[in-house]
Amino acid sequence: MSVTDQLSDKAKPEPEADEAGRLPLPAGEGAGYERLYAWLVPVAILAAWEMAARAGWLSRLFFPAPSEIIRTLVRLMGSGELPRHIAISLQRIVLGFAAGAVPGVVVGLAMGWSRPTRRLLDPLVGALYPLPRLALFPLIMIIFGIGEASKVVTIAIGVFFPALINAMAGVRGIHEAYFEVARSYGAQPWKVFRRVVLPGSMPMVLAGLRLSLGLSLLLVIGVEFISSRTGLGAFLWLAWETFRTEYVYAGLFVAAALGAAFAYILRLAEHRLLPWAEGLFHR
């Protein structure tokens, strides 16, 4: 090793140990271990479940082996039965989410920015938000009928309030100094909204959209339980009525996969729209 290399090695700062005296892992190595740890518990549970089912310690009527559930899921996907139900549920989710979350964000931003608007609408929001969405479904069916409209409206009402409340909280969380600086430079209200309100509230807005999207999946399954012959909820209900437990587990697996996919899509949106707020989501 040359003298220059030795000097450069000596110039490198030594890694600092944490409170427990442990040195940090090399770059990239920590992420790999974290991914490994994230899979350890699910894999261990599935392996124990499989062994218990095969050994007869668990009743296969209520707890079929994971391998049997996977075979059922592959068969249902291959036959096209489950994809058809998934597509119908996704269509209802997209329509309900668009009809509820977008107005919720708009109204929430307006309530957070305008005190008169907040004073006018806040009592109404406080009264309507605690109402159970599925409890409103019979009334919504009376008004909109038993077709697709009532299901979409129920989802829209459900996702409206989380989007609104988070958007309002995002605007109200912006420090007053930012507004004072914008006004001192003579910024017009529209420019204040575009340069201060939108960027400052966007982390909370996206958090509200994540909550709303997850809630839309819960609501679509709930309304399909009650009033539908198609969709993922109807598939699960029929599987329960016919006591095909492996079908129930397959449907629940699909619902969990959809929830994970929704969360992943919105995390990608957060990374692209808010690169400056990376630390807010990964502490």
User: What domains does the chain contain, in order, with CATH numbers?
Assistant: 88-228 (1.10.3720.10)
Return the higher-pLDDT residue of 250 and 174.
250
- What pLDDT does 32 receive? 60
DSSP 8-state assignment for residue 57: S
Q: Does pLDDT of 91 surpass 90?
A: yes
160 and 191 Cβ atoms separated by less than 8 Å = no
Q: Does pLDDT of 11 surpass 80?
A: no
Q: What does the alpha-carbon distance between residue 121 and residue 272 come to, in Å, rounded to a whole number? A: 33
- Name, of 53-62, 153-162, 178-187, the range with top average pLDDT: 153-162
Is this prediction's pTM over 0.85? Answer: no
- What pLDDT does 249 receive? 93
Judged by average pLDDT, the poorest of 18-22, 250-254, 255-259 is 18-22
- What pLDDT does 4 receive? 42
Mean pLDDT value across residues 70-94: 92
Q: What does the alpha-carbon distance between residue 213 and residue 215 come to, in Å, rounded to a whole number? A: 5
Cα distances (angstroms) measured from residue 12 to each of 5, 9, 222, 240: 11, 5, 59, 64
Q: Does pLDDT of 270 surpass 50?
A: yes
Q: For the chain, what percent of residues have pLDDT higher than 90?
A: 39
Render pLDDT for 122-167 as a digit per residue (tens, 0 to 9): 999 989 888 888 888 889 999 998 889 999 999 999 999 999 999 9
Cα distances (angstroms) measured from residue 22 to each of 15, 19, 139, 281: 10, 7, 60, 25
- What pLDDT does 168 receive? 94
Report angle CA 200, 203, 204 to the nearest 5 degrees.
95
Q: Does pLDDT of 104 surpass 90?
A: yes
Judged by average pLDDT, the poorest of 25-34, 122-131, 190-199 is 25-34
Angle between helical axes of 245-273 and 232-241 (0-180°, round to 10): 160
Cα distances (angstroms) measured from residue 262 to each of 85, 86, 148, 161, 281: 17, 14, 22, 19, 16
The dihedral formed by the CA atoms of 83, 54, 59 and 76, expressed in degrees to the nearest 10: 10
Mean pLDDT value across residues 183-200: 81
The mean pLDDT value of the chain amounts to 83
